[in-house]
C-alpha cells in the first residue's frame, strides 16, 4: 500500500509539472471559460487533462520505446504544433475583433461541450513530446522506482487527476469573468489571450530558425 501511495504522489507531481507551466492551452481554457462559462471551460480542461492521462498511460506501458520513436521527429512535431497554435490564435483573434451578432451561449448544449472536449483533446495531443516527459520520469526520473502494474496504474491516475484539477481551476477562474465582466471587457481579454497564443506559436516557430 505504501508503494502505491508513493506512486500516486509521484503521478500527482508529474501531472502538475506538465499542467501548471502557463502555455497556450492554459490561455485557451481561460478564454473559453470567460466567453462561455464554467461548463464549457471544464470540458475544455477535461480534454486537455485526458490527453495528459493518455500520454502518461502510454509512457507507463511503453515509454522507452515510444520516446525513442518520437525523439527523431522533434523538429516536425514542433513545426506542426507551432502552425496549429498560430492558426488557432489568428482565428480566435479575428472572431474576438469581429464577434458574431448572436453571442455564444453558456455551454448548456451538451453537443457544444463535447465538441470543445474533442478540440482541446486534439490540441493537447499534437504535442507528443509530452510522452517523453512522462517517460523520463518513469524510466530515469523521480518515478524510476515504479515496479508493479498497480504502481504504474497509480502513477497514471495521479497524473491524470492532477492535470484535471489544474485545468478545472483555470476553468473556474475564467468563468468568474464570464459572470462578472462586461461583454466589452470580455472581448478585450479574449483579444489579449489570443495574442498571447500567437506569441507562443511564434516562439515555437522562431526557435526552429
pLDDT value at residue 39: 93
pLDDT value at residue 69: 74
Q: Is the dihedral of CA 117, 119, 122, 123 positive or negative?
A: negative
The grid cell for 192 is 489579449
Using DSSP, state whether 49 is helix, strand or coil: helix
pTM of the model: 0.79
Q: 53: which residues sit within 8 A by CB, 6+ positions away?
A: 156, 159, 160, 163, 164
Describe the crossing of helices 74-97 and 110-125 by its angle, rounded to 10 degrees: 140
Mean pLDDT, each 10-residue run in order, the chain (209 residues): 85 84 84 91 95 84 69 78 88 79 47 85 79 63 63 89 94 87 81 88 85
The grid cell for 157 is 491516475
Report d(CA 37, CA 171) in Å as an integer: 8
Per domain, the residue ranges of the chain are 2-206
Q: 122: which residues sit within 8 A by CB, 6+ positions away?
A: 47
Report d(CA 49, CA 134) in Å as an integer: 14
pLDDT value at residue 35: 87
Helices (H), the chain: 2-19, 24-36, 38-70, 74-97, 110-125, 130-139, 149-180, 183-206
Rg (CA), the chain: 18
pLDDT value at residue 165: 96
Amino acid at each position: 500500500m505504501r508503494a502505491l501511495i508513493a506512486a500516486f504522489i509521484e503521478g500527482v507531481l508529474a501531472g502538475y509539472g506538465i499542467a501548471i507551466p502557463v502555455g497556450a492551452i492554459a490561455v485557451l481554457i481561460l478564454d473559453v471559460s470567460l466567453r462561455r462559462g464554467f461548463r464549457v471551460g471544464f470540458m475544455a480542461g477535461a480534454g486537455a487533462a485526458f490527453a495528459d492521462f493518455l500520454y502518461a498511460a502510454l509512457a507507463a506501458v511503453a515509454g522507452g520505446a515510444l520516446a525513442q520513436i518520437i525523439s527523431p521527429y522533434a523538429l516536425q512535431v514542433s513545426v506542426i504544433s507551432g502552425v496549429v497554435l498560430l492558426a488557432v490564435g489568428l482565428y480566435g483573434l479575428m472572431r474576438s475583433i469581429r464577434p458574431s451578432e448572436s453571442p455564444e451561449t453558456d455551454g448548456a448544449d451538451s453537443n457544444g461541450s463535447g465538441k470543445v472536449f474533442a478540440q482541446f483533446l486534439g490540441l493537447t495531443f499534437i504535442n507528443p513530446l509530452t510522452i517523453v516527459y512522462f517517460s523520463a520520469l518513469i524510466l530515469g526520473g523521480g518515478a524510476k522506482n515504479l515496479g508493479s502494474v498497480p504502481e504504474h496504474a497509480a502513477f497514471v491516475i495521479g497524473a491524470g487527476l492532477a492535470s484535471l484539477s489544474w485545468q478545472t481551476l483555470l476553468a473556474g477562474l475564467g468563468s468568474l469573468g464570464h459572470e462578472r465582466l462586461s461583454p466589452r471587457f470580455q472581448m478585450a481579454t479574449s483579444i489579449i489571450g489570443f495574442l498571447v497564443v500567437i506569441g507562443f506559436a511564434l516562439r515555437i516557430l522562431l526557435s526552429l530558425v
